[in-house]
Amino acid sequence: MPKLASFTTISLDGFFCDSDGDFRWAHNPIQDKAWDSFVAGNAQGGGILLFGRVTYDIMKSYWPTPMAAQSNPVVAEHMNSMQKIVFSRTLDQTSFSKTAWSNTQLIKGNLVEEVCRLKQDCQQGIAILGSGSIVSQLAQAGLIDEFQIVIAPIVLGKGRGLFSGLNQHMNLKLTESRSFTNGNMFLRYEPMR
């Protein structure tokens, strides 16, 4: 069965998006070749990307653009070519199909059931990018095998926590940590089951 990983950037005060629901602040403007190499290597992992509607809209507004291709050519190429699945109860299938990002499928069914089915049927890894409400729901269901968290050197003051809505304790085991000169800290955790 493939591994389901969550990759999320949080602020130093623990928020994955600001009070307006935006996470564009997560792109650290400080140049760091080791960080750029890490991001490019992570993007080449292949597999399937899962998004909620809000994260999908933000990602779709950047990665298929010429700016992304110029700024982050390796990451942009992989983001655009990978299979993507968007979970949404509000998007309409017909209008979505006309404006969808390449290789994207809309799923309106039960999130937990659909991800269980996807994990059983899929041969490759699956990654959730951002999408805090999806992370919280799937963590609650015990379906996330790995949490990759980047702590960015920024304080937002207010926003939404990554695990908002989780109604149980979840003990995690640190399996990797790495710091970068741009101030980002990468942490990899696995649930202790």
Average pLDDT on 78-87 reads: 92
156 pLDDT tier (thresholds 50, 70, 90): very high
- Cα-atom radius of gyration of the chain, to the nearest Å? 16
**If you average pLDDT over every residue of the chain, what do you get?**
89
Name the residue ranges covered by the structural domains of the chain.
4-23+36-191
Asked if pLDDT for residue 172 goes beyond 80, the answer is yes
Residue 3, C-beta contacts closer than 8 angstroms, at least 6 positions apart: 125, 126, 145, 146
Residue 176 above 90 pLDDT?
yes
**How many other CB atoms sit within 10 Å of the CB of residue 90?**
6
* Predicted confidence (pLDDT) at residue 22 exceeds the cutoff of 70: yes
Higher model confidence: residue 111 or residue 165?
111
Calpha distance 191→174 (Å, rounded): 9
99: left (phi over 0), alpha (psi -120 to 50) or beta: alpha
Instruction: Give CATH superfamily name and number for 4-23+36-191.
Output: Dihydrofolate Reductase, subunit A (3.40.430.10)
The answer to which of 8-12, 89-93, 116-120, 178-182 has the lowest mean pLDDT is 89-93
Distance CA 173, CA 147 (A): 10
pLDDT of 94 strictly over 70:
no
Alpha-carbon span 54 to 91, nearest angstrom: 11
